[in-house]
């Protein structure tokens, strides 16, 4: 059942692509197309939710191998990055939980955002965010997680500045975006140090190798990832960005800062628990 893990982040991405290109080429536009956009977004995230629950059930019945490799993504010198996903354990549990929350919020957003000028833009960004968060949770290596991490960050900027004609919305979105870049710098540093000292950026392999690394080395790698985590989860000294993020529509505030994205930093710390410990 490991192969199901690929479709969980892929389906919302397909929805974002359909809505985005449909709006770009005037196939989806105006109030008359709202139902089409909403159905596309709700159907794909609901299907992702069902697949995540099925993957979790398979994991509980010990039917998953733990990692699913799609193929080689990037190779440069000694750096080899596979397109792989984690299909067991904590990541699968979180994917099931987050997909349920995303499905509920996507469903109830329709009435809230109805007749807004940015209705289609909202569902495009929300679908893209769902894809990014599920990729962040399920990716088997730091590069894939970082891509999901950045997609989620970009979507937060776009939804905080949803009412971009209001100066306060644009300013708050920019400040949040810049603050989170500090955490992203820590994440990139953590990836670089992990590869330099351990020769891998696969999460499972990195946790296994951590026991053989010198304490100062592990400490520096851990601190780099912890900086990323505390910035993303709005911990001190990065807490002020959270209040500014409330400028976006209520459904986006719920999904970003009340239920899903705010916990991605905590997820990263738990994922790297053996390394940090």
Tens digits of pLDDT across the chain (277 residues): 899 999 999 999 999 999 999 999 888 888 888 999 999 999 999 999 999 999 999 999 989 998 999 999 988 888 889 999 999 999 999 999 999 999 999 999 888 888 788 899 999 999 999 999 999 999 999 999 999 999 999 998 999 888 888 888 889 899 989 988 999 999 999 999 999 999 999 999 999 999 899 999 999 999 999 999 999 998 888 888 888 888 888 888 888 777 888 899 999 999 999 999 9
- What is the count of structural domains for the chain? 1
Residue in 169, 167, 149 with CA at minimum distance from that of residue 159: 169
Burial degree of 104 (CB within 10 A; 0-12, 13-18, 19+): middle
Q: What is the pLDDT of residue 229?
A: 95
Q: What is the pLDDT of residue 11?
A: 97
CB of 247 within 8 A of CB of 168? yes
Measured from the Cβ of residue 39, the count of other Cβ atoms closer than 10 Å reads 12
Distance CA 109, CA 125 (A): 13
The dihedrals phi and psi of 2, each to the nearest 5 degrees, come to -60, -35
Q: What is the pLDDT of residue 115?
A: 79
Distance CA 63, CA 58 (A): 5
The range of the structural domain enclosing residue 73 comes to 4-276
Distance CA 109, CA 119 (A): 10
Distance CA 71, CA 94 (A): 24
Q: What is the pLDDT of residue 92?
A: 96
Q: What is the pLDDT of residue 114?
A: 84
Which residues face 141 on adjacent strands? 202
Q: What is the pLDDT of residue 1?
A: 83
Q: What is the pLDDT of residue 202?
A: 95
Distance CA 138, CA 201 (A): 14
Distance CA 98, CA 109 (A): 16
Token pair of 2, please? 């490991």
Q: What is the 3-state secondary structure (H, E, C) of the chain?
A: CCCHHHHHHHHHHHHHHHHHHHHHCCCCCCHHHHHHHHHHHHHHHHHHHHHHHHHHHHHHCCCCCCEEEEEEEEEECCEEEEEEEECCCHHHHHHHHHHHHHHHHHHHHHHHHCCCCCHHHHHHHHHHHHHHHHHHHHECEHHHHHHHHHHHHHHHHHHHCCCCCCHHHHHHHHHHHHHHHHHHHHHHHHHHHHHHHHCCCEHHHHHHHHHHCCHHHHHHHHHHHHHHHHHHCCCCCCCCHHHHHHHCCHHHHHHHHHHCHHHHHHHHHHHCHHHHC
Distance CA 133, CA 260 (A): 8
């Amino acid at each position: 059942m490991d192969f199901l893990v690929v479709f969980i982040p892929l389906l919302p991405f397909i929805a974002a692509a359909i809505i985005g290109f449909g709006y770009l080429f005037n196939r989806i536009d105006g109030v008359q197309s709202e139902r089409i956009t909403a159905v596309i977004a709700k159907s794909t995230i609901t299907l992702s939710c069902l697949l995540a629950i099925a993957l979790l059930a398979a994991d509980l019945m010990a039917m998953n191998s733990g990692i699913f490799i799609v193929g080689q993504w990037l190779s440069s010198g000694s750096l080899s990055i596979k397109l792989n996903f984690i299909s067991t354990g904590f990541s699968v549990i979180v994917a099931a939980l987050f997909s349920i929350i995303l499905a509920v919020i996507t469903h109830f957003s329709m009435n809230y955002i109805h007749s807004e000028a940015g209705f289609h833009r909202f569902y495009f960004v929300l679908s893209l965010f769902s894809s990014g968060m599920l990729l962040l949770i399920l990716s088997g290596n730091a590069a894939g997680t970082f891509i999901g991490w950045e997609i989620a960050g970009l979507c937060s900027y776009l939804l905080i500045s949803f009412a971009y004609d209001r100066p306060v919305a644009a300013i708050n979105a920019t400040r949040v975006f810049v603050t989170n870049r500090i955490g992203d710098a820590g994440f990139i540093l953590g990836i670089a140090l992990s590869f330099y000292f351990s020769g891998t950026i696969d999460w499972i392999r990195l946790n296994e190798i951590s026991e053989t690394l010198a304490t100062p080395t592990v400490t520096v790698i851990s601190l780099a990832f912890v900086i990323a985590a505390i910035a993303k989860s709005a911990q001190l000294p990065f807490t002020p960005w959270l209040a500014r993020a409330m400028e976006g529509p209520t459904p986006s505030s719920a999904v970003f800062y009340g239920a899903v994205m705010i916990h991605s930093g905590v997820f990263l710390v738990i994922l790297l628990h053996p390394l940090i410990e």
